[in-house]
Amino acid sequence: MKILSCILLLVFSAALMSRAQVPEATQAFDRATRLLNQGAYSEAVLAYDEASRDGLESAALYYNRAIAHYRLEQIGESVLYLRRAESLDPDDLKIRHSLSIVSSRIEDHFSELPAPIWTRLQRLLVSLIPVNLLLISGIVLYLVLVALLVVYIKRIAENDWLRRARYVCGIAAGFFLFAGFTTSFWPPFPDESVVLVDELVLYERPDEQASVSERIHEGLVVTTITKAGDWIFIQLPNGAQGWTTSDGLGAI
Amino acid sequence: MYFQLTRSTYQKTNSSRWSVLTLSWVLGVSIFTLIGIPYTVTAQSVKISASINDSTIGTEEGLVYTISIEGAPGQDIQTPEAPAGEGLSLLQSIPNTRSNVSIINGAVTQGYSYSWTYRPTGAGIASLGSTTVRVANTVYKTNPISVTIVPQSQRPTRTQRRRDPFASLFSTLGPQNTEELPELTDRDIFIRAIPSKTSVVQNEQVTIEYQLFYRAGIQLRQSRLTDSWDAEGFWREELEVETRPIPEIVVENGLRYNKITLKRAAVFPTRAGDLSIDSLRIESEALIPTSSQDPFQRMFSTRSRFQPVKLGSASIHIETAPFPEGAPASFSGAVGSYSFSSKIDRTELEVGESIKLTVTVSGSGNLATMDTPRFNPPAAFELYEPQVELNLNRRGTRLTGSKSFSYVLVARTNGNFELPSIEFSAYDPRSGNYKIMRSDPITVSITGSATTPMSVTATTNGLPVDDVAAPFSDAGEWSNKKGAPLHTAAWPYTVLLLPLLFLSGLFLYQRHEDKLAGDISYARNRRAHPLAKKNLKKAVALLEAGDTIAFFAELERAVMGFIGNRLNVSERGLTRQQLDESLRRASVSDDIRSRLSDLLNVCDQGRFAPVGFGRLELEAASEDAATIIVALSSILGGKR
């Protein structure tokens, strides 16, 4: 009981601390937005950076920062923050519209590989229930099942409802835990990055003397496969792969 | 007979074209004199060539001079005169005449040849003068030919011809049959790699043609490429060549060859610098005509006279310059001669419908790697990835073709919109300039579900058509940035594992409890040792208290209770004989049973006549009881 109390206290304290930083972030956001509307785009970017310094984020923060970058002709950064905004609020029309406008400025156009059926199913599931919620739901149901099993083993009580509850909890816990762990270990949305420089050279090996396999340009969203030191192995939307240095990419 | 023919220059002397042909003749002679390359003159379909068997002969060798006439009927040909020789003496005034018929691509061609044999009069430079050939009413004149005569000792040793045709037949039985096969030299058979250019701009087309030359009379079989042909630093496209080529007779360096095109490829340097293309290597088997006059030997030695040969062309170096400066913004590396066109399937549509805008780039160049031209339609259209269609024409000596980019645009807003022009630029190496091509802007009218035409500056949702939407004025809901994913933390696994262990323990404990409650034997067995231990402890306490009677009573209870629990029998009312019998059935040894009997007797004595028991005896009895319990415990089993 004492342990549970300590955990609840810690969670409550953390929530209170983050809430305490919200007014400061909001003030920074308001100041940055005023600068943005005045056309001081570089200053606005710095102010938005300040607003997100305490680990807080919001779709509006990312969106406005993307607009500032767009006005500065920084297409890569603009795509990066619009994609972040979209991840927080995927249904917002303004975000989607602006993303399509900015994407039309991207030089590279690759055909996209179709996702496998299981990946599409995972994406559908994750769009309905976030991965962490899947896991937590599975754990809670699992604990309920354990409690029901204790009742059953100790013969505290037994009837049809308890038996049905055990079955339902078992199946539900199994499903949520399976879905949660599979989507955690094999995420349907791989790590993505945006090209932030005018041109990024892809090499066949992590070596600048290696043959050049492709040249990609600012704003293109690529998938990160692995990293090796300063080198990063990425995949283009059409499935082509290559090594490049990580300093020209921004992780979404 | 094996002829190695060298062709000289001919000039048509048709009287009606005299002035022009004379000029050509003069030019031809001049070129021949300067660079030593002969050329052929054909009149209509008549083709005449003259050659000698070798440009260098020994003083004891014969020189065969041959005039070949193709494409003319025999009755129109007047037997030519042998040319006069300087340093050469004619051995026969009447030429050897041969005729042949060849069918090429279904066309029948008849040919005649006239040969004379000359003998050198000494070492030095000899020459044969010109002669005339009359075919119908046309007169052709040959050019003089020079021949180098060297002392016979400087010529390669050759097997003397056998004058006796039967001698060779019989000699095949003996070891002296050592007919030497002629050696193939680089002059007899070789591959020539011919690049169309050796100095180009990056991505400019270079056509490489590999031609196999082999002397007349040589037969080839089982020819194959030995190595993979590589051209690092180039984009490569194969061009078509005849799969069953008919050799073309050509004269190279004064000698007559059959020529076959082995391979033709268009290559495009992908980077600047001095780039090289590997040599083309083939392996084959060559049949070299023998000089033997023996018809039997010629017939039966065919198989043995096929020699394996390995051939390789020279590697090619292409000097590649980078793209010239001044490239337009739309330039993406296209080099070549291109034309550009665009078409749209319609210009009026409704919201939700699509139109297809197709731009096509045609011409000669590297179409395969050509990038998609940039196209930024108004935001009223949803633009899909263009469909790309590539058509390459690999026939001929250059790679040509077309590449089409079909943009599908779906109308999302009604109104009149202008599709901007699409720009394509390429560097044209012929003119040395960048060429910019643009499609015409197209106005598209969209009607549809919207009841009132929308302004071109806003969508149905009030968002700007060609610009990003306005920024948010409110920060919205703040949230903490995502930390580490839940599955990377340890606590979920702990929460899952601990209840599992708890459940397992609980299950086992409950099963134990159930067994204790339902199985008396199990329960007594489980309780036997703790109870005996407890009784022994109690007896020791009584010993310390000096209560001898109670001590022995407790000691007997401990031992008997232990035995009763372990054997699951009631120890009350159990006679000593019954006890002993039960223990004997339980395989308890006589020694232990005897010790037990002694102990029980001592206990009886202590309880009923407790006289003479000192502390030592009491402690010994307690120790005996513990020892017997331990011994019985190991024999009767059960938990201690």
Q: Is residue A111 part of a domain?
A: no
Total count of domains within chain A = 3
Pairing of strands B145-150, B56-58: parallel
Q: Do A142 and B372 touch (CB under 8 A)?
A: no
- Partner-chain contact B502 A146, CB within 8 Å: yes
Which has the higher per-residue pLDDT, B156 or B605?
B605
Q: Mean pLDDT throughout A50-72? A: 88
ipTM of model: 0.75
> Is the pLDDT assigned to residue B174 strictly greater than 50?
no
Per-residue confidence (pLDDT) for residue A14, from 0 to 100? 53
Tracing tokens 């496969």 back to the chain, one arrives at A225
A108 lies in a domain? no
Alpha-carbon distance of B532 to B530, in angstroms, equals: 5
Same domain for A15 and A51?
yes
Is B372 in contact with A33 (Cβ distance < 8 A)? no
- Residues A170, A95 within the same domain: no
How far is A103 from A83, CA to CA, in rounded Å?
A: 11
Shared domain for A15 and A69, answered yes or no, is yes
Residue A112 lies in a domain: no
One domain for residues A152 and A211 = no
Mutate to test the interface with A, among B472, B502, B509 (most CBs of A within 10 A): B472
Task: Please report where in the chains the tokens 């001669």 appear, as a residue.
Answer: B337
Q: Which residues of A touch B374 (CB under 8 A)?
A: 107
Stated length of chain A: 252
Q: Is pLDDT at A142 greater than 90 in this prediction? A: yes
Here the tokens at position A77 are 């950064």
| Residue A6 confidence (pLDDT) | 53
User: Among residues 64-103 of chain A, which lie with CB inside 8 Å of chain B?
Assistant: 64, 67, 70, 88-89, 93-94, 97-98, 100-102
Q: Is the pLDDT of residue B165 over 60?
A: no
- A206, A163: one domain: no
* pLDDT tens digits for range B375-406: 888 877 888 878 888 888 988 888 999 999 98
Instruction: Kindly state the average pLDDT of the residues B198-208.
Output: 92
% of chain A with per-residue pLDDT over 90: 27
DSSP code of B272? S
Identify which has the larger pLDDT, B502 or A131.
B502
Q: What is the pLDDT of residue B257?
A: 84
Cα separation, B68 vs B47, whole angstroms: 8
Quote the crossing angle between the two packed helices A131-153 and B491-518, to the nearest 10°. Answer: 10
Is residue B171 pLDDT above 70, yes or no? no
A107 contact residues in B (CB cutoff 8 A): 374
Whole-number percent of chain A with pLDDT over 70: 92
Domain boundary among the residues A131, A157, A185 is at A185
Helix (H, G, I), strand (E, B) or coil at B522: helix
Q: How confident is the model at residue B326 (pLDDT cuts 50, 70, 90)?
A: confident
Whether the CB of B476 is below 8 Å from some CB of chain A: the reply is: yes
The reported pLDDT for the residue numbered B164 is 45
A238 touches B: beta carbon within 8 Å: no
Question: A204 and A136: one domain?
Answer: no
Beta-bridged to residue B269, according to DSSP, are B234
Which of B20 and A28 is assigned the larger pLDDT? A28
Q: Which two tokens stand for residue B197?
A: 């250019």
Separation of alpha carbons A164 and B216, rounded Å:
96
What's the longest Cα–Cα distance across chain B? Answer: 171
Strands B442-447, B354-365: pairing kind:
unpaired
Per-residue buried b or exposed e for B546-583, using 16+ beta carbons within 10 Å of the residue's own CB: eebebbbbbbbbbbbbbbbbbbeeebeebeeeebbeeb
Are residues A48 and A90 both part of a single domain?
A: yes
- Asked if the model's pLDDT at residue A93 lies above 60, the reply is yes
Q: How far is the CA of B428 from the CAs of B105, B204, B238, B336, B434, in angstroms?
A: 38, 9, 22, 5, 6
User: Is A106 within 8 Å of chain B by CB?
Assistant: no
Mutate to test the interface with A, among B468, B480, B496 (most CBs of A within 10 A): B468
Domain membership of residue A136 (yes or no) is yes
| B351/B447 Cα distance (integer angstroms) | 6
Confidence of residue B338 (pLDDT cuts 50, 70, 90): very high
Side by side, which strands form the sheet with B348-350? B348-350, B442-447, B415-419
Contacts of B173 (CB under 8 A, 6+ apart): none
Chain A: residue whose CA lies nearest to B474: A60
Give me B417's structure tokens.
Answer: 């919109």
Structure-block tokens of residue A23: 């007014």
**Per-residue pLDDT for A173 more than 90?**
yes
Tally of CA atoms within 13 A in the half-sphere of A204 that contains its CB: 5
Q: Which residue has the higher pLDDT, B22 or B142?
A: B142
- Tell which wins on pLDDT, B550 or B450: B550
Look at B481 and A56 and tell me if their CB atoms are within 8 Å: yes
| Structural domain that includes position A17 | 2-103
- Whether the per-residue pLDDT at B372 is higher than 50: the answer is yes
Say if residue A169 is in the same domain as residue A197: no
Please indicate if any CB of chain B lies within 8 Å of the CB of A242: no
- Please give the DSSP secondary-structure letter assigned to residue B265: E
* Chain segment B266-311, per-residue pLDDT in tens: 999 988 889 988 888 888 888 876 655 555 555 555 545 678 888 8
Q: Residue A63's pLDDT band (boundaries 50, 70, 90)?
A: very high
State how far Cα B246 lies from the chain centre: 32
On the question of pLDDT at B252 being above 70, the answer is yes
Across the interface, of A29, A98, A104, the residue whose CB is closest to B475 is: A29
- What's the rounded Cα separation, in Å, for the pair A80 and A85? 9
Read off the CATH number of the domain in which A11 is found.
1.25.40.10
Structural domain includes residue A233:
yes
* Full set of structural domains in chain B with CATH: 10-154 (2.60.40.10), 189-321 (2.60.40), 331-447 (2.60.40.740), 518-636 (1.20.120)
How far off is chain B from A60, nearest CA to CA, in Å?
5
Contact call for residues B42 and B21 (beta carbons, < 8 A): no
User: Does A40 reach chain B within 8 Å, measured CB to CB?
Assistant: no
Q: Phi and psi dihedrals of B216, rounded to 5?
A: -55, 135
Helix (H) or strand (E) holding B284: strand B281-287
With CB atoms and an 8 Å threshold, state whether B471 touches A64: yes
Give every CB contact of residue B461 below 8 A, 6+ residues apart in sequence: A93, A97
When computed from its CA atoms, the radius of gyration of chain A, rounded to whole angstroms, is 24
B124 in reach of chain A (CB within 8 A)? no
In whole angstroms, give the CA distance from residue B263 to residue B209: 6
Where among A133, A159, A185 does a domain terminate?
A: A185
Task: Identify the pLDDT of residue A230.
Answer: 86
Lookup result for tokens 């010629």:
B298
Per the document, the length of chain B is: 640
Please tell me the distance in Å from B191's CA to the nearest CA on chain A. Answer: 31
Query: What local confidence, expressed as pLDDT, does residue B169 receive?
Result: 43
Least confident of B1-5, B188-192, B312-316: B1-5
- Distance CA(B302)–CA(A243), nearest Å, equals 59
Amino acid (one-letter) located at B310: K
Asked whether residue A47 is assigned to any structural domain, the reply reads: yes
Helices (H), B383-519: 491-518
B372–A109 C-beta distance less than 8 A = yes
Which of chain A's residues have a Cβ under 8 Å away from the Cβ of B471?
A: 33, 36-37, 60, 63-64, 67
The per-residue pLDDT of chain A, averaged, comes to 85
CB contact under 8 A, A25 and B506: no
Q: Examine the pLDDT at B449 and tell me if it is beyond 80.
A: no
Element (H, E) at B139: strand B138-142
Whether the pLDDT of residue A1 is over 60: the answer is no
Q: Give the pLDDT of residue B576.
A: 82
pLDDT in tens, B72-96: 888 888 888 888 888 888 887 788 8
Average pLDDT over residues B539-544: 89
Q: What pLDDT is stored for residue B362 in this prediction?
A: 93
- Domain CATH number, residue A234: 2.30.30.40
Q: Does A137 touch chain B (CB under 8 A)?
A: no
Whole-angstrom Cα distance, residue B171 to residue B122? Answer: 35
Count the neighbouring beta carbons within 10 Å of the beta carbon of residue B208: 23
| Among candidate residues A185, A218, A236, the one where a domain is terminated | A185
The pLDDT of residue B443: 87
A·B CB contacts under 8 A: 119
Instruction: List CB contacts (< 8 A) between B503 and chain A.
Output: 146, 149-150, 153
Q: Which residues of A touch B502 (CB under 8 A)?
A: 146
Spell out the residues 6+ positions from residue B377 whose beta carbon is closer than 8 angstroms to its own. Answer: B383, B407, B409, B417, B419, B420
| Neighbouring-strand partners of residue B88 | B120
Closest-CA distance, A234 to chain B, in angstroms, reads: 21
What is the distance between the alpha carbons of residues B162 and B166, in angstroms, rounded to a whole number?
A: 9
Minimal CA separation from A248 to chain B, in Å: 21
- Best CA proximity match to B279, nearest among B248, B307, B313, B252: B313
- Which residues neighbour B136 within 8 Å (Cβ) at sequence distance 6 or greater? B72, B76
Rounded distance, CA B539 to CA B551, Å?
5
Please list the residues that pair with B404 across neighbouring strands: B360, B389
Q: How far is A230 from chain B (nearest CA, A)?
A: 22
| pLDDT tens digits, one per residue of B108-152 | 777 888 888 888 888 888 988 888 888 888 888 887 888 889 888
Nearest to B32, CA basis, from B108, B98, B132, B127: B127
Burial class (CB in 10 A: 0-12, 13-18, 19+), B359: buried
pLDDT > 90: percent of chain B = 14
Indicate if A95 and A133 belong to the same structural domain: no
Per-residue pLDDT for B223 more than 70?
A: yes
**A94 lies in the same domain as A124:** no
Name the more confident of B360 and B469. B360
Q: Which percentage of chain B shows pLDDT scores above 70?
A: 81
Assess whether A146 and A71 both reside in one domain.
no
pLDDT at B457: 58
| Other C-beta atoms lying within 10 Å of the C-beta of residue A85 | 29
CB B125 within 8 A of CB B149: yes
Same domain, A91 and A135: no
Angle at B225 between CA B270 and CA B182, to 5 degrees: 130
Is pLDDT above 90 for B360? yes
Task: Please compute the mean of the pLDDT values over residues A225-231 and round it to a whole number.
Answer: 87
> For residue A88, is pLDDT > 80?
yes
> Chain A within 8 Å of B474 (Cβ-Cβ)?
yes
H-state helical runs in A38-130:
41-51, 59-71, 75-88, 93-103, 117-128
- A109 belongs to a structural domain: no
Q: Would you state the pLDDT for residue B520?
A: 80
A16 pLDDT above the threshold of 60: no
Distance CA B37, CA B211 (A): 18
Radius of gyration of chain B from its Cα atoms, rounded to whole angstroms:
56
Q: How far apart are CA A250 and CA B633, in angstroms?
A: 75
User: Quick one: pLDDT at residue B363?
Assistant: 93
| Contact criterion met (CB below 8 Å) for B383 and B372 | no
C-alpha distances (whole Å) from B637 to each of B328, B399, B578 are 99, 96, 20
Question: How confident is the model over B537-546, as a mean pLDDT?
Answer: 88
pLDDT band at A136 (very low <50, low <70, confident <90, very high): very high
Task: Name the 3-class secondary structure at A83.
Answer: helix
B466-507 confidence digits (pLDDT tens): 778 888 888 888 887 766 778 888 888 999 999 999 999 999
